Structure 1
């Protein structure tokens, strides 16, 4: 009964926040950021006290401390207090109660049993389709502990700046590009490491040797608009196409590269390599 008395007060405060954020009303009003902060707080409190307090222990109060620069040299500390919900069923239960049916689709729902348990809902119909890739014949997973010269491939913080590691990694990627046909995706843990490797490989000639095997494309740091033309160039290189050019009458044409089967040098360059950063 105690919790049921709190909820109407929270709902009333939410209405007051909405009214106070009306910019067309006369007098003072809340800023958009302030209104969003208060609405988020009251929404969390409504779930916190909802269902007669059943989900009280599904929340955790956390205080985070962040260091930030103030001016040119001084550093300051910013404290942030957060109310974290550690159980997705708290919110999903309300969604399931308000809807007639819910359809969830994703490529990462398996295992289905534990996923349904986390959401606190029993799904009457479940379907798990087979993957488009045949894991037995199309996938080979391996860990390379060393490169062509048997130097250890260790990308830890202490060894990532060593030229011996950077050179060995470049030689390993070159060898993989020589063997693997088509496209080659190479992911790095950060843009910082990727930039260091590009500089080093350009100095040693490794970058030119990589491009001799496959045209190398690098993920840009910018927006999606900057990434799209790079991806298109990567796909076209794999398909053996050259960039769009104008033909007779101004019409655009795509001309396929004719790779001679008796030329080992050209066949070795088949496909392309794409260097990117894994954010997972």
Structure 2
């Protein structure tokens, strides 16, 4: 018996790669219907600068400003929760550090301050205890007036927790990978 996650879809490709004759395959439907899901790639900032998150651009202020302004705008318009995933802790901490110093679009506030005006912000910690508390606080604040945003790492500790209680969760979410 092999039990896998939905991240292996399409399952046919996975079965072919294993080279095993599987007589019984059970696959459940996704909890969200196709009209509830939007997959998009944002390639340019509002200032029409290319947003390419490659290693060579890791210290590019225009990249950080562009991505930060997009996240700040999403914090304004998404009603409840936002999950923001980064490729690494280093990338997450660098973005946060830059967002705290770069001026955004509103009243001389930094991009971080703009985000925090719209959503309560929480960060995944490198320590398990800190991550547990961030997730607890995130879930608590999602239901409140402006919602919350959780900044985490793709292969980090947040992935091991049920941050969103999918099928019976009344809140809207956006998941953004930087």
Aligned length: 149
Q: Deviations over 1:159-199 (max 9, x none)?
A: 22121221121111111111222111111122222222222
1:208–1:139 CA distance, 2 compared to 1 (3 A): same
Q: For 1:275, which of 143, 151, 173 is the aligned residue?
A: 151
| Conserved? CA contact 1:146–1:152, under 8 Å | yes
Residue equivalent to 2:142: 238
Distance in 2, Cα, partners of 1:153 & 1:201: 15
Residue equivalent to 2:38: 140
1:120–1:222 CA distance, 2 compared to 1 (3 A): same
Distance in 2, Cα, partners of 1:114 & 1:187: 26
1:222 aligns with 2:127: yes
| Conserved? CA contact 2:123–2:131, under 8 Å | no
Q: For 1:213, which of 86, 111, 118 is the aligned residue?
A: 118
| Conserved? CA contact 1:154–1:160, under 8 Å | no
Structure showing greater Rg: 1
1:203 match: secondary structure? coil
1:195–1:125 CA distance, 2 compared to 1 (3 A): closer
The CA RMSD measured in Å over matched residues stands at 2.2
How far 1:113 sits from its partner (Å)?
4.1
| Conserved? CA contact 1:190–1:278, under 8 Å | yes
Residue equivalent to 1:171: 69
Q: Which runs of 5+ in 2 are unaligned?
A: 103-109, 157-178
Q: Deviations over 1:22-53 (max 9, x none)?
A: xxxxxxxxxxxxxxxxxxxxxxxxxxxxxxxx
Q: Which has the higher helix share?
A: 1
2:55 match: secondary structure? coil
Greater relative CO, 1 or 2 (CA 8 Å, sep 6+): 2
Distance in 2, Cα, partners of 1:189 & 1:216: 18
- The TM-score normalised by the length of structure 2 is 0.73
| Conserved? CA contact 2:76–2:115, under 8 Å | no
